[in-house]
């Protein structure tokens, strides 16, 4: 998600902000779940803006959100980012000192507040989320005036609900992008399963013993030192300690599930080739920029040693 909430700035007064429809009214009628979420978000933003030491204009912040909800783009995303960057610099230079009547903010507070609302609404559109500007305004104003919260102790839970909605949308989009990778991976693994010497575990992990070891076998809580090379199923190498000329050491329970399970099958000195399905690798998220969503991975791994924890 783009940095949108707290990239505040100083450089311009946007006359366009004052060309909005205006006249927004708050509402205490939180009839829907989204109304309650909108109210909680309004309080959250008001708190964050107040922490910078400026006098929040809740009306302008809600107006920016409302305009963007209606596709009224008084400022471009680039212009908004410029304002935010400048404001951030101004706040940093003050090192926490609040603005006062004697030492006022050297920028248009109205413009900054408008951009905050507009930029947030613009980004929410990417996730098919549209907040109620009236409930948002009410939340902002209630925080500013220290009025009792209409959502009581549900503030954090409502913010988490918004986060969950965004994550669900992101996951759905990733699933669509990953469909082809997942299908290709399943075909690849099905073909591998017919090869001589390839074994599988109940989890779906597949492997081939290239060289058997003679030493001890690690457990998940051990630190291990290995040499490895990771490839996509098309042969693209995305990581290789072998190419770097230096083995890697790490806690075995701190890596992807396919590694944690697979390396525990090895005796020290062994070399295995692992075929790791996407759900035991990086899943729908992938690992940008080198591992796409839903990718099945191949790893050649040599278990060099099981390391004694130096802190023990």
* C-alpha span between 255 and 301 (Å, rounded): 14
17 φ, ψ (degrees, to nearest 5): -60, -30
- Determine which one of 238, 242, 279, 307 is catalytic: 238
Q: Which two tokens stand for residue 71?
A: 């596709």
Q: Which single residue is written with the structure tokens 């090379």?
A: 229
* C-alpha span between 198 and 46 (Å, rounded): 59
How far is residue 11 from each of residues 53, 64, 87, measured CA to CA in Å?
A: 17, 18, 7
Q: Is 256 a catalytic residue?
A: yes
Closest Cα partner for 228 from 211, 245, 216, 213? Answer: 245
- Determine which one of 228, 272, 274, 275 is catalytic: 228
Cβ-based neighbours of 296, under 8 Å, separated by 6 or more: 181, 184, 185, 186, 188, 189, 232, 233, 275, 276, 277, 278, 281
Q: Is 116 a catalytic residue?
A: no
- Determine which one of 282, 291, 298, 304 is catalytic: 282
Q: Are 212 and 275 in contact (CB under 8 A)?
A: no
- Determine which one of 166, 256, 300, 307 is catalytic: 256
Q: Which two tokens stand for residue 13?
A: 């007064």
Q: Is 8 a catalytic residue?
A: no
Q: Which single residue is written with the structure tokens 């507070």?
A: 109
Q: Which two tokens stand for residue 82?
A: 């410029």
- Determine which one of 39, 299, 304, 306 is catalytic: 299
Q: Is 282 a catalytic residue?
A: yes
* C-alpha span between 252 and 257 (Å, rounded): 9
- Determine which one of 55, 239, 279, 307 is catalytic: 239
- For residue 108, how far is the Cα from the chain centroid? 31
Q: Is 299 a catalytic residue?
A: yes
* C-alpha span between 118 and 62 (Å, rounded): 8
- The Cα angle at residue 136 between residues 133 and 139, in degrees rounded to 5: 150
Q: Is 309 a catalytic residue?
A: no
Q: Which residues are 237's β-sheet partners?
A: 231
* C-alpha span between 26 and 270 (Å, rounded): 68
Which residues are known catalytic residues? 228, 238-239, 256, 282, 299
């Amino acid at each position: 998600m783009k940095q949108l909430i707290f990239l505040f700035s100083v450089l311009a007064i946007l006359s366009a902000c004052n060309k909005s429809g205006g006249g927004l009214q708050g509402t205490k009628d939180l009839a829907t779940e989204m109304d309650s979420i909108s109210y909680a978000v309004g309080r959250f933003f008001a708190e964050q803006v107040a922490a910078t030491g400026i006098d929040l204009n809740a009306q302008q912040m809600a107006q920016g959100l409302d305009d963007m909800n209606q596709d009224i783009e008084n400022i471009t995303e680039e212009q908004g980012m410029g304002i935010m960057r400048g404001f951030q610099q101004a706040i940093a230079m003050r090192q926490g000192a609040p603005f006062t009547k004697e030492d006022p903010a050297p920028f248009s507070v109205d413009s900054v507040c408008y951009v905050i609302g507009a930029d947030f609404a613009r980004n929410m559109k990417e996730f098919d989320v549209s907040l109620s500007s009236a409930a948002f305004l009410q939340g902002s104003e209630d925080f500013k005036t220290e009025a009792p919260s209409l959502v009581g102790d549900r503030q954090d839970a409502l913010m988490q609900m918004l986060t969950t909605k965004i994550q669900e949308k992101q996951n759905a989009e990733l699933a669509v992008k990953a469909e082809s990778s997942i299908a290709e991976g399943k075909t690849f693994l099905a073909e591998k399963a017919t090869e001589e010497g390839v074994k599988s575990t109940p989890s779906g992990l597949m492997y081939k013993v290239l060289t058997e070891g003679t030493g001890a076998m690690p457990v998940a809580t051990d630190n291990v030192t290995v040499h490895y090379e990771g490839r996509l199923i098309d042969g693209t190498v995305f990581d290789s300690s072998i190419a770097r000329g230096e083995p890697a050491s790490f806690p075995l329970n701190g890596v992807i599930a396919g590694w944690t399970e697979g390396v525990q099958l090895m005796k020290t000195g062994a070399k295995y080739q692992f075929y790791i399905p996407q759900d035991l690798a990086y899943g729908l998220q992938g690992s940008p920029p080198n591992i796409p969503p839903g990718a099945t991975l191949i790893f050649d791994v040599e278990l060099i040693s099981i390391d004694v924890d130096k802190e023990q």
